[in-house]
A and B are shown apart, each in its own frame.
Chain A
């Protein structure tokens, strides 16, 4: 059950995923294990907020009913969000946070690389811009997965546990989807058919260096970002993120 046309839904999927991932990163403010890592996470978060805004602005123009980027971020309910289930999961420890970040970065990296060649010029421009930033994000999160996986006995165990916790939500990163197929057939975006294989190849490569075992392919289950059927964690995240704009609509300072 979707409200908008396929292209707008696709833009929301990109924008919402970036925004929710950024909001999770912000939760580390003042609590990160090291100051440098805190700055790193905030910088990645900042890039993602900017990317979300670019996708939202395009989506808002298509919706064309007075909606703007802020409305999309702060005035929609849980069921209207199209972000990946992966990014709404709680941060857990640093290992869980970095595992989520790595899976998401690898997905963004390959997806944006493909979208850079989109016929839709706006999508191509946002993708090209974002990709530059995401290349850095992926480099950093890959390095952490390697360093923790191939680190001490405890860091290795924690990484394995993190993969156990997060892996089941990655089915969304490797599923084929009719809406996206239709978008590529109508010429808006390139075919994304190789995205699952490319994502998996990157994960495989980094896991090998990190001495981590790649789990079996994840099973699809009843939750789905595409229909707004989220896990229980998105609602509480939005309650915090949207509080100010909900309590004081159109507040500015």
Chain B
């Protein structure tokens, strides 16, 4: 089917099929996070629902951090990517509850982060205790566990800054929330 046909039919309020939803998901696999361009919105687990209603595709996303400046950019990227793929006027909305957790980052997302030089979140967000949140973070460069935290906050809200005491390289750690 050509993109143009879909746009016309969507505007007439056609009903979507399972194939449309699957196609939408595969489009979303290629919408990358602007701050960490190796992970997609699917890898991050921020896409909470894709559905078809009233002749339109509806996508529900949940923001990572309340003040994440990338949230609106991501919503626009999702809308643009779906439109380019032939979906007419896809609706993207936000959902706050349940709050996003790093537990939703997929295995593929974790290995992509690591390959990019960012240590993926360690453990589950449920087990983290408030004032003793010291975790052993593995260096994404050399694999050593002999690392130290330089700063609770790194280059973006979702990361903190670490240094490897074996290879001496500094690196970002994707915080567990």
A contact residues vs B (CB 8 Å cutoff): 36-37, 39-40, 42-51, 53-54, 121, 124-126, 128-130, 132-133, 135-136, 138-140, 142-143
Contacts and interface: CB of A to CB of B under 8 A. Distances in A.
A46 B99 contact: no
B69 interface: yes
- What interface size band does chain B fall in? 20 to 34
Given A49-B67, A51-B66, A135-B130, A44 B99 contact: no
Given A125-B97, A135-B130, A138-B130, A40 B66 contact: no
A44 B153 contact: yes
8 contacts: A36-B150, A36-B151, A44-B153, A48-B67, A121-B97, A128-B98, A132-B101, A139-B133
The interface residues of chain A, by DSSP majority, are classed as helix
Given A43-B156, A50-B65, A53-B66, A36 B161 contact: yes
Contacts of A47: 65-67, 157
B156 to A, nearest CB: 7
Nearest to B71: A50
B99 A129 contact: yes
B152 interface: yes
Given A46-B65, A136-B177, A139-B133, 15 more contacts: A39-B153, A43-B153, A43-B154, A43-B157, A44-B153, A50-B67, A54-B66, A54-B96, A124-B97, A129-B63, A129-B66, A129-B97, A133-B66, A140-B152, A140-B153
B67 A40 contact: no
Contacts of B69: 46
The interface centre, meaning the residue of A43, A124, A130, A138 with most chain B CB atoms within 10 A of its CB, is: A43
B131 interface: yes
A47 B67 CA distance: 4
Interface in B159-174: 161
A114 to B, nearest CB: 15
Given A46-B69, A47-B67, A124-B97, A39 B130 contact: no
B102 to A, nearest CB: 10
A11 to B, nearest CB: 14
Contacts of A45: 67
A82 B97 CA distance: 26
Contact of A125 (B99, B130, B150): B99
Contacts of B125: 132
A54 B63 CA distance: 11
B56 interface: no
Interface in B120-177: 125, 130-131, 133, 150-157, 161, 175, 177
B3 interface: no
A7 B158 CA distance: 31
A65 B152 CA distance: 41
B177 A133 contact: yes
B83 to A, nearest CB: 22
Contacts of B177: 132-133, 136
Contact of A40 (B63, B97, B99, B151): B151
A40 B131 contact: no
Contacts of B63: 50, 129
Contacts of B133: 139
B99 A132 contact: yes
